[in-house]
Structure 1
């Protein structure tokens, strides 16, 4: 199922299989990324050109109901990650993690081998730069294409990761590319993901804000009010 939200086509379901030979770019959208994209044309282009764009934020879920009366459910980046790991384990495929530090990638590998023993794990920690240069990208392309993974998970934080995928997707021999940011830290155990109680209440953001106030204050106290104001203006201007 798809629903149009402003300039975005949001998908409410994930694919039930991995179609070999057809490349899918999967991104997530939440109120914070929406607000960033409104001021960053390249980021917006990366999101709008996604083959699958999922609502990773209860704010998007509420907004679609408020604007269009549509009832959708949140699909988090973590849900996306686990969905494809389960598919890949059944198919005995290959996964590649691009991003984060060597120590985090090792933690991911150790957990992956315990939980999904049929998946072949590969990874690379790129240089920590605002923008990767041509030589960096050529090396990354070669490493990934030599392996030809079924799934590429990119964790460089938004909007850097989405822009990187948008710029480099045509050079990558991969079936599915997902930008999943903080999931690297959740799955590795670096950061504890809020429990089911908070998730079911639609308040997963609250414990995360307590855990990481310096990183997340802006999306809570700046982007969320800005997103709400944008919705109100759009709703009432359309009805007037």
Structure 2
């Protein structure tokens, strides 16, 4: 497996198709495998959070979620990524590829959203629903126990900044074959949120459309700017 490293974090040099194939092999292997879709905000947060950095380094697959990561890999390592592998693209690709063989647990989002996402996914791809749970809980132990009892093939965790640490912290007890932090994907699968226009997706500006259309996301801009500064500083240090 070819990996690059940016600002102390790994990025696997894979495109969407190879990522799906690798996860397919994980589904047939023993143990729980963590997949992280790495975005610039994660990188910035990890600079001051050793546990978050460790989660990425110990994950079995880390994909480039966004053009910022693709740019950083090229600038800092000279490697060319085949393309982005976002959670919004990876999740439906997995559900379509493996369909009825998948037992999926949907965890996260507001009450009722995971249920809608699960029902829509079952209707569209024929997947088996192993369980659902919203992201509004404080005590993690009972949730981990529910997941472990369900023993899903695929655990989709949409809990924002909590998701990847939740998976990493409980990895040995989850009982899932593959666990992925998927951000707002459950909202999209449920129909609560629409993806950006296909043109914005092709131009790789979906992230900008999401931020511009939601004031709650405006606080992300400082982190994105800091990411650019960090990458440029690291590039100068290596030159």
TM-score under structure 1 normalisation? 0.88
1:20 deviation in Å? 4.0
Corresponding residue to 1:155 among 148, 153, 158:
158
Offset of 1:195 from its aligned partner? Answer: 2.2
2:124 aligns with 115
Asked if residue 238 in structure 1 is aligned to residue 238 in structure 2, the reply is yes
Q: 2:168 aligns to what SS in structure 1?
A: helix
1:33 positional shift = 1.2
Task: Indicate conservation of the 8 Å contact 2:109/2:135, yes or no.
Answer: yes
Question: What is aligned with 1:227?
Answer: 227
CA 187–172 in structure 1, closer or farther in 2 if over 3 Å, else same: same
Counterpart Cα distance in 1 of 2:53 and 2:127: 36
Distance 1:209 1:172 in 2: 32
Q: Is residue 28 of structure 1 aligned with residue 31 of structure 2?
A: no
Q: Is 1:145 paired with 2:148?
A: yes
> What CA distance in whole angstroms lies between the structure 1 residues aligned with 2:219 and 2:135?
26
**1:185 partnered with 2:187:** yes
2 CA distance for matches of 1:118 and 1:182? 20
The Cα of 1:112 is off from its aligned counterpart by 1.2
Aligned-partner Cα distance in 2 for 1:205–1:142: 34
Deviation (angstroms), 1:203: 1.0
1:195 aligns with: 197
1:87 aligns with 2:101: no
When the two chains are superposed, the root-mean-square deviation of aligned CA atoms in Å is: 1.8
The question of whether the paired residues in 2 share the 8 Å contact of 1:105 and 1:123 is answered with yes
Number of equivalences = 229
Say if 1:199 and 1:126 are closer, same or farther in 2 by CA, change over 3 A: closer
Runs of 5+ unmatched residues, structure 1: none
Equivalent-residue separation in structure 2 for 1:157 and 1:223 (angstroms): 15
Q: CA shift at 1:123, angstroms? A: 0.7
Contact 1:25 1:176 survives alignment (8 Å): yes
Question: TM-score, normalized by length of structure 2?
Answer: 0.88
